[in-house]
A = this chain, B = another copy of it.
């Protein structure tokens, strides 16, 4: 079963977290996946954590999870914290595959997205 996990920073402002959860649902629709095949996790300030989300996926029988860091730049959260959290989970699930994508700010289409936002304003 395909599985995407979008990992965001997390905010004290619950509306911000809800915004990310809603985005996850919209991505599932766009990808024509079941809603549970696109999960959202957070590094700080709210739940679920990355470990909780990954463990739930693997306990549910998922064999491969693709992790998208929903971060705009390669700060410590992207470079250190998230890879460490993933490595810790991987130790407990040696037969499962966790694929870490580049952070969203480094995805090639970002330049085009910004250009479109400007053009269409």
- A interface vs B, CB < 8 Å? 4, 6, 8-9, 11, 13, 15-17, 19-20, 23, 26-27, 30-31, 66, 68, 70-76, 99, 101-102, 104-107, 109-119, 121
Contacts and interface: CB of A to CB of B under 8 A. Distances in A.
A68 B119 contact: no
Copy number in the complex reads 2
A57 to B, nearest CB: 15
A15 B16 CA distance: 26
Nearest to A111: B26
B115 A31 contact: yes
A45 to B, nearest CB: 10
Contacts of A70: 72, 114
